[in-house]
Amino acid sequence: DADVTQTPRNRITKTGKRIMLECSQTKGHDRMYWYRQDPGLGLRLIYYSFDVKDINKGEISDGYSVSRQAQAKFSLSLESAIPNQTALYFCATSGSATLELFFGEGSRLTVL
Amino acid sequence: LAKTTQPISMDSYEGQEVNITCSHNNIATNDYITWYQQFPSQGPRFIIQGYKTKVTNEVASLFIPADRKSSTLSLPRVSLSDTAVYYCLVASRPDKLIFGTGTRLQVFP
């Protein structure tokens, strides 16, 4: 089983719908991140959390919200999806004594 | 925040050594240099990390000159399975893990 699991892996939705992407990890890490990847643009940081009570905005947080339900769970929500949020979304974790990121397999979201 | 510059793409043939250079002119004293590999439709995977001089592991070597304004990821004897995008990150804090656009390496038979 993967250490960092994302669900769903693929989702097609319509403009205006609310979408939640979920991430769970078994690595015991405190730090969790959500990144977005668009073709040719690398990965951009949306939100990050260093513990259950800590939520921080990244480079591109507008239009997104997150919830850290437990140490092992970090979800990303699009309250009202729009087509330019079509992208590949990655969850990542890291331990407190390292800068190494461990990524999930990604969630491909298409907004029509 | 140290900005990184990498070549957009590189081509190589199987069995050759590949060197990918990353420029980071405004690297800070406490920053570490980390390289990731990403295959299509997969999350990036950590390859190697260093602070100065040379670091080697079972996958790659990382060369960092004394001024630390650049770094070179060296992949010995690449194979087709090394075709991927390679990212260089420069950071000292976990809230500054910013990815650039990376270098797309294509390995030919």
pLDDT tens digit string along A79-102?
999 999 999 999 999 988 888 999
Pick from A67, A82, A78, A85: nearest CA to A23 = A67
Q: What is the mean pLDDT of residues B13-34?
A: 94
Does the beta-carbon distance from B101 to A101 stay under 8 Å?
no
- Judged by a CB distance cut-off of 8 A, whether residue B50 touches chain A is no
pLDDT of B79 over the 80 cut = yes
pLDDT of B85 over the 70 cut = yes
User: What is the longest distance spanned by two Cα atoms in chain A?
Assistant: 41
**pLDDT value of position B2:** 62
With beta carbons less than 8 A apart as the criterion, state whether B4 and B90 touch: yes
**pLDDT value of position A42:** 84
pLDDT tens digit string along B38-77?
998 899 999 999 999 999 999 999 999 999 999 999 999 9
Does the beta-carbon distance from A4 to B43 stay under 8 Å?
yes
Q: CA B39, A75, B95 angle in degrees (round to 5)?
A: 70
- Those residues of chain A that have pLDDT short of 70 are 1
DSSP character at residue A65: E
Percent of chain B with pLDDT over 70: 98
**pLDDT value of position B29:** 92
Separation in Å, CA of A31 to nearest CA in chain B:
8
Residue B49's closest chain A neighbor by CA?
A100
Percent of chain A with pLDDT over 90: 88
d(CA B82, CA B29): 32
pLDDT bracket for residue B1 (50, 70, 90): low
Specify the range with the lowest mean pLDDT, choosing from A97-106, B28-37, B94-103: B94-103
Does the beta-carbon distance from B94 to A31 stay under 8 Å?
yes
Side chain identity, residue A98 = T
More confident residue, B92 or A86: A86
Residue A97's closest chain B neighbor by CA?
B94
With beta carbons less than 8 A apart as the criterion, state whether B108 and B11 touch: yes
